């Protein structure tokens, strides 16, 4: 199991700086999200942003270096793919088919929030 999935296990010791890792299924049904799947758009958005935040948190130096070198998506391809697989495993097929929450969260969290980093991208 990779760092992303491990970080999403509610293990306070797994998160740097004393921050507890977070998970919120958002389904509101009380069902296990791994079995039932997240069926609400808000829950899917929260999960996507949580995964993207974990990628950023656990790979901060790598993210900053990749932005400086203008190769963010190549440098973080394994982490982004691992996060996508986790997202797909937890979100219902209906939501997956009609939304793009995961990729939007990757852009918002990994890229847009790092606009202060010197790069040829901007």
User: Which pLDDT tens digit goes with each residue over 34-87?
Assistant: 445 899 999 999 999 999 999 999 999 999 999 888 999 999 999 999 999 999
Q: Which domain holds residue 49?
A: 3-12+39-114
Contact 64, 73 (CB under 8 A): no
Q: What angle in degrees, to the nearest 10, is found between the helix axes of 41-58 and 77-90? A: 150
Contacts for 101 with CB less than 8 Å, ≥ 6 apart: 41, 44, 45, 47, 48, 87, 95
Position 59 in a domain = yes
H or E element in which residue 91 lies: none
Position 32 in a domain = no
The CA distances from residue 94 to 39, 98, 100, 105, 109, in Å, are 8, 7, 12, 19, 24
Position 19 in a domain = no
Question: Which tops the pLDDT comparison, 115 or 79?
Answer: 79
Position 20 in a domain = no
Position 21 in a domain = no
Position 60 in a domain = yes
Domains of the chain: total: 1
Q: What is the pLDDT of residues 77-112, one digit of tens each?
A: 999 999 999 999 999 999 999 999 999 999 999 988
CA triple 84-33-2, angle to 5 deg: 40
Task: Tell me whether residue 41 is exposed, middle or buried, using C-beta atoms within 10 angstroms of its C-beta: 0 to 12, 13 to 18, 19 or more.
Answer: middle
Question: What is the pLDDT, as a whole number, of residue 5?
Answer: 58
Question: What is the pLDDT, as a whole number, of residue 52?
Answer: 97
Position 57 in a domain = yes
Position 97 in a domain = yes
């Amino acid at each position: 199991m990779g760092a992303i999935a491990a970080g999403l296990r509610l293990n306070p010791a797994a998160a740097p700086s004393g921050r507890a890792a977070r998970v919120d299924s958002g389904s509101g049904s009380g069902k296990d999200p791994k079995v039932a799947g997240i069926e609400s758009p808000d829950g899917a958005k929260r999960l996507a942003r949580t995964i993207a935040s974990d990628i950023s948190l656990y790979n901060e130096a790598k993210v900053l270096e990749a932005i400086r070198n203008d190769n963010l998506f190549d440098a973080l391809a394994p982490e982004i793919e691992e996060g996508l697989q986790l997202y797909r495993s937890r979100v219902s097929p209906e939501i997956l088919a009609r939304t793009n929450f995961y990729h939007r969260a990757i852009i918002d969290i990994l890229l847009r929030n790092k606009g202060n980093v010197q790069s040829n991208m901007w």
